[in-house]
Structure formats: C-alpha cells, structure tokens
Amino acid sequence: MARLGENRYGKSRVRLSRITRFRNPDPTEDHEIHEFQEWTVCVLLEGGFDASFTEADNSMVLPTDTMKNTVYSVARNSTASTIEIFAMELGDYFLANHAAIKRVIIEMNEKSWERMIIDGAPEAATFKLAGSELQTVRALRVRGSGWQLTSGIDGLTILKTARSAFTGYIVDKLTTLKPTTDRILGTRATITWDYASPTQDFASVRARILAALLKTFAGHNSMSVQHTLFAMGKAGLEAAPEIARIHLSMPNLHHLLAELSPFGQDNPNHIFVPIDEPHGVIEATIER
C-alpha cells in the first residue's frame, strides 16, 4: 500500500532585474543615479496539497505560473535592498494570502553587478559584473513561527601561487602524489552561514564575511586545503557575531606541473596544466 510522504511544489528559476532610481544630489547634474540588481528566485510551498497528488484534486493548488507573477508583483512594490529582505517579504505574502500553505521556502541568488568606474569616478547608470560568484539566500518559515535564514556565496573562485604546501600525508603502494611546499592553491568555494539572531543588516554581514574570507585565504600559510578552510571559517565567525555557524565547501582545483623533460627543458614551477576533473572535495562546518 502506497502512502504520500513529505511533498512540496513551486516555481524555479524566476529571473528578474530591477532598477532603483535616485535623485542626483549634485544640483549641476540632471541625470538620475541608478542601482541595478539581477535576481533568480525559487518558490517552494508545503501544506494542504496532498489531494492534488492522491486524488487529482487541484482545488487547493496555487498555479506555479501565479507564483511567477507574484514574484514580479511583490518586487514592484518592494523597497528591499537585499535578497534576504525580499525573500522574507515574498514568503510573507504567500503565507498571508493562501491559507493552505503551512511552510514556505524562498531560495534566491543575485549576480554581483557593481558600478563602473570611468576616469576615476563612478558612473551613475553603468555597471559591470564583478565576478562569477552568486550571492545566495535560503529563507524558510513555518506558519506561526519566525524566519530561518541561511545566506551565502556560491562559486567564489580564488587562487594563490604562494604560501601553499601539502606534505606529511599517508603514503601507500598506490600513492603517486609528490609532497610539495610550493604549489598553486585554487578553489571554487561555496560558503553558507546561518544567522544566530534576527538582523536587517544583511549587506554589512555579507561584506564583513567576504572580506575576512579573502584576507585569510591570501595570507594563510596553508599546509592543506583543510588547514586553510578552517582558518577561513574561523575568520568568518569572528567578523560576524550575528551568525551561529559557517559552512565551506572548497574543491581543490588542481594545477599540475607540466612534464617538459621530453623536450630537454626544465620546469621550475613555471608551466602548469589546469584541470578541474577529477578534483579533491573538502567541506566542513565551523561553529561557535
């Protein structure tokens, strides 16, 4: 006999761009100052929808196309400056307007657009993509309780060519890796953090954590990816007392020394072959 277990449904990859316009404070300038944001939204709903699965009864189902339209409508009236605040606004709208919903999950990411600098001055309405990483949030709320927020950064691609070693590991009959005290350390990191207490200062928290992660990665005398990961997580906690824990996933994207001896050439850590498959996977949660 079959029984319906945990279930949810929603709308994914709802994309929107938003321009926020401000009056130029310089009275000699007649153009506006713009802020630009590009978001991707996923809405997931849980609640009284069992009959749609088991009885083909759609009477309690909010169409996913309506969810898409709701994203755009709520965004039109929203003054949210961060994806965290907008995710909560959007989730609260669904809970307030649809009684069948018992739990809402809003997942969002934001591209890192930043104002372009031309001749040393910021352009009022021109932007460039700062990097490939995405700002992320997962906001969850059960009806009658508060929000649970996990923010993060996905795809933070960083590399250093000094202060990185790997020695002292297990060597058995299948080990071919040579120890090194001078290697390239590269990763495409995914970082998430859970908030310990309510806050509205999400942009500041994100900026402090990112600055701490990058500073630690650059300056750390790494004995392994694990060694540097823990140092980065610790620095993130110290930079943001608002968070309870931070999780880092740091694949080791290898750069292998090219073999030039067949050509009669040496290779004093000068020419490398970058590979991304296979790669090491190192993950950990750093808690208070």
In a domain, 269, yes or no: yes
Q: Which domain holds residue 274?
A: 156-287
Contact 112, 133 (CB under 8 A): yes
Q: Give pLDDT, residue 231.
A: 98
Q: Which two tokens stand for residue 11?
A: 């709308």
Non-local (6+) Cβ contacts of 100 within 8 A are 47, 48, 49, 60, 62
Residues 160 and 140 in one domain: no
Residues 236 and 184 in one domain: yes
In a domain, 1, yes or no: no
> What 8-state DSSP symbol labels residue 26?
-
Split at pLDDT 50, 70, 90, the class of 82 is: very high
> Domain end: 119, 145, 171, which one?
145
In a domain, 37, yes or no: yes
In a domain, 169, yes or no: yes
Residues 277 and 248 in one domain: yes
Q: pLDDT, tens digit, for every residue of 30-77?
A: 678 999 999 999 999 999 999 999 999 999 999 999 999 999 999 999
Q: Which two tokens stand for residue 72?
A: 């755009």
The one catalytic residue among 68, 111, 220, 254: 254
Q: pLDDT, tens digit, for every residue of 231-271?
A: 999 999 999 999 999 999 999 999 999 999 999 999 999 99
Q: Give pLDDT, residue 230.
A: 98
Residue 29, pLDDT > 80, answer no
Catalytic residue list contains 64? yes
Split at pLDDT 50, 70, 90, the class of 2 is: very high
Which amino acid is it at 46? E
In a domain, 266, yes or no: yes
Residues 139 and 180 in one domain: no
Q: Give pLDDT, residue 30.
A: 64
CATH number, domain of 279, equals 3.10.270.10
What is the rounded distance in angstroms from the CA atom of residue 225 to the CA atom of residue 128?
31
In a domain, 3, yes or no: no
Residues 191 and 270 in one domain: yes
Coil vs helix vs strand at 170: coil
Q: pLDDT, tens digit, for every residue of 110-139?
A: 999 999 999 998 999 999 999 999 999 999
Catalytic residue list contains 215? no
Residues 13 and 136 in one domain: yes
Coil vs helix vs strand at 66: helix
What is the rounded distance in angstroms from the CA atom of residue 287 to the CA atom of residue 237?
8
Task: Say which residue the tokens 């997942």 belong to.
Answer: 107
> Domain end: 145, 177, 195, which one?
145
Split at pLDDT 50, 70, 90, the class of 198 is: confident
Contact 237, 243 (CB under 8 A): yes
Residues 256 and 281 in one domain: yes
The one catalytic residue among 11, 68, 111, 220: 11
Residues 138 and 213 in one domain: no
Contact 184, 272 (CB under 8 A): yes
Task: Say which residue the tokens 């001055």 belong to.
Answer: 121
What is the rounded distance in angstroms from the CA atom of residue 7 to the CA atom of residue 23?
47
Q: Which two tokens stand for residue 178?
A: 């040579």
Coil vs helix vs strand at 218: helix
What is the rounded distance in angstroms from the CA atom of residue 178 to the CA atom of residue 8?
49
What average pLDDT does this structure show over 88-109? 98
Residue 7, pLDDT > 80, answer yes
Catalytic residue list contains 11? yes
Split at pLDDT 50, 70, 90, the class of 200 is: confident
Omega prior to 278 cis, within 30 of 0: yes
What's the total number of domains in the chain? 2
Terminus-to-terminus CA distance in the chain, angstroms?
A: 46
In a domain, 49, yes or no: yes
What is the rounded distance in angstroms from the CA atom of residue 64 to the CA atom of residue 70?
10
Residues 161 and 138 in one domain: no
Residues 186 and 277 in one domain: yes
The per-residue b/e assignment along 16-55, b for 16 or more CB within 10 angstroms, e otherwise, is eeeeeeeeeeeeeeeeebeeebbbbbbbbbbbebeeeeee
Residues 116 and 162 in one domain: no
In a domain, 2, yes or no: no
> Domain end: 95, 120, 145, which one?
145
The one catalytic residue among 34, 64, 98, 279: 64
What average pLDDT does this structure show over 197-209? 92
Q: pLDDT, tens digit, for every residue of 141-176?
A: 999 999 999 999 999 999 999 999 999 999 999 999
Residues 48 and 72 in one domain: yes
**Mean pLDDT score of the chain, rounded to an integer?**
96
